[in-house]
Amino acid sequence: MPAARRDLGLIAGLAVLVWLAIERTETCDRIFAWIAANPDSEADSLVLALVLAALGVAVFAVRRVRELQTAIRARALAEQETHRLAYHDPLTGLPNRRALSERLHEAERFREPIELVLLDLDRFKTVNDIHGHASGDRLLREVATRIQAALDTGQRAFRLGGDEFAVVVPGAIGRRRFADPLAGRLVNALSQPFAEGSLVHHIGASAGIARYPQDAPDSAAILRAADVALYGAKDGGRNRWLGFAPEMDDQIRRRAWLEQEIRGGVAAGEFEPHFQPIVTLVTGEIVGYEVLARWQRADGQQILPDAFIPIADECGLISELTLSILETACLRTRDWRGQPTIHFNLSPTQLRDRWLSEKLLAVLARTGFPPQRIGIEITEDAIIADQENARRVIESLKNLGATIALDDFGTGYSSLHNLRSLPFDRIKIDRSFVRDLDRGANAQAEKIVRGIVSLAHSLELPVTAEGIESAAVARRLARIGCETGQGYFFGRPQPNQAEPRKRIGVARSGAAAAA
Ligand code: C2E
Ligand code: CA
Ligand code: CA
């Protein structure tokens, strides 16, 4: 375009020069005088033709310039569109990871103080797995809308891919943190239910915040620092936000160390089963034991499962760990008096293993333990993660003669659908409700326990209550109609067979109601 313009200018300039020259030399006057003096020469027609040709050239030039202008506009639009595609997420329309990375570079180049909020949805995968990708896509668009609605002027949201989002908050001045209130608003906005037709999704989000330049020397480090903070927020129970702190790096290092230790511990056989008795509430008779993992370290320390099961689960060691504990448990309890059933816990990731039932069967065959004496406890999130495979595994375990309990009922989705869709044999009420039975404001807890028990009974499923710490609670549960129970009152988890405890005396105070 500039070339065409230059040409036009040149032609116009030339025309003016020629005109001036003609004016100066009075050429026109001379030509007209000559034409007038020689009327037979036809030179007047020639001049007319020349003038018309010049006009034609001028019209052509203007049209050409117009055409060029249109082509240039189209090219600029195409360029804009390519840029938009390269820097935006097509699903939500938000700028993408590349755009964020350039924004961070820009901040670094101009030493502009900024805060970065990283957001990660908490249960998005479940929605995607159960309701399909179309549903997941709609949810992500709605998430993007809520994020943008929470922003103040100057704050910009990005989608980094999957269920990860980010917001750049400019202008962190001194100790003032603009990102903190924003992160609070975001976590809150995303914890509200999402309605989609007749469905309601409950997801939630965790957020991590890092500040440049306080928390990180450059643009790559700020992303990492925010990620570390996000990880801390998730680890601390999700649905919350955390600002980066240098100690967090130490925590991550500690975790990596723990992972190594667990690996070594599994290889060295440091994981052991402990057994907690499960009793019939009314008679106090022991009917089985729950197998609970304990880590007996070489240095004499004993570590409880909450400190290693989640890590073993994440780093892919859970299967090996559980199978080795099961093997020891089978060997140790095989000849216990009364032939009690042993109940062990399976984590959600284990239930996704297609070969799980074959692996369990191999352990039972090796140890000569009858499958009918095996009970398996699974939580609802295990079913949600992959219902089809869960069903397959559960059915093949049941075919062996094992029984299946739904563990921690009341804490998760507590869905009737889950209860009915899979062939459970028993429900376990989570110990948080049982604990509350013993407290001052326990009318609510009692209502919940009654509700769960009557729901279970309407499906003809017996109920086990866990976490019973006193005779009073045991009696109350028996009166409500709970069949079996476990807890420190009846016996703590220990490495060998427990002595049966005395009856709790429900027979006298309300056996009729319990029976
Ligand atoms: P859970 O399945 O809910 O197991 C019951 C937990 O309640 C056990 O904690 C037990 O020691 C504790 N408990 C029992 N009676 C009482 C009581 O009267 N009061 C109180 N406050 N607590 C009581 P533990 O042994 O620390 O295990 C924690 C969780 O770790 C278990 O919860 C289970 O989900 C998991 N876990 C344990 N062993 C294994 C395993 O071998 N594999 C898998 N996947 N998970 C396991
Ligand atoms: Ca359990
Ligand atoms: Ca439980």
Residue 19 lies in a domain: yes
Of 60, 87, 114, which residue sits at a domain end?
A: 87
Q: What is the pTM of this model?
A: 0.63
Of 43, 68, 87, which residue sits at a domain end?
A: 87
376 shares its domain with 426: yes
Residue 449 Cα to ligand 1 midpoint, Å, equals: 20
Structural domain containing residue 499 = 267-514
Res 502: pLDDT: 58
Residue 35 lies in a domain: yes
CATH at residue 330: 3.20.20.450
330 shares its domain with 358: yes
CA distance 157 to 145: 10
Res 173: pLDDT: 64
DSSP string, 490-505: T---BSSPPPPPPP-S
- Which numbered ligand comes closest to the C-alpha of 409? 3
229 shares its domain with 119: yes
3-class secondary-structure state, position 155: coil
- Give residue-wise pLDDT tens across range 386-403: 777 788 888 888 998 999
CA distance 503 to 282: 7
CA distance 502 to 283: 8
DSSP string, 247-282: HHHHHHHHHHHHHHHHHHHHHTT-EEEEEEEEEETT
Q: Whose C-alpha lies nearest to ligand 1, atom 2?
A: 345
Res 412: pLDDT: 67
Residue 256 lies in a domain: no
Q: Which residues of the chain have pLDDT under 70?
A: 1-2, 4, 172-176, 384-385, 412-414, 440-441, 501-515
Pocket probe for ligand 1: among 276, 278, 292, 406, the residue whose CB has the most ligand atoms within 8 Å is 292
Q: Is 467 in the pocket of ligand 1 (CB under 6 A)?
A: yes
Q: Whose C-alpha lies nearest to ligand 1, atom 43?
A: 345
Per residue, what are the HEC states of 24-35?
HHCHHHHHHHHH
Res 440: pLDDT: 58
Res 2: pLDDT: 64
Res 189: pLDDT: 96
441 shares its domain with 337: yes
Res 339: pLDDT: 94
3-class secondary-structure state, position 508: helix
User: CA geometry: angle at 412 spanning 409 and 417, to 5°?
Assistant: 75
- What ligand 1 atom has the least distance to the C-alpha of 489? 18
What is the number of structural domains in the chain? Answer: 3
Q: Whose C-alpha lies nearest to ligand 1, atom 42?
A: 345
Of 66, 87, 108, which residue sits at a domain end?
A: 87
205 shares its domain with 162: yes
Res 512: pLDDT: 38
Res 503: pLDDT: 66
Res 501: pLDDT: 67
Q: Whose C-alpha lies nearest to ligand 1, atom 3?
A: 408
CATH at residue 186: 3.30.70.270
CA dist 304 to 117, 273, 361, 507, Å? 34, 11, 27, 36
CA distance 41 to 393: 109
- What ligand 1 atom has the least distance to the C-alpha of 493? 11
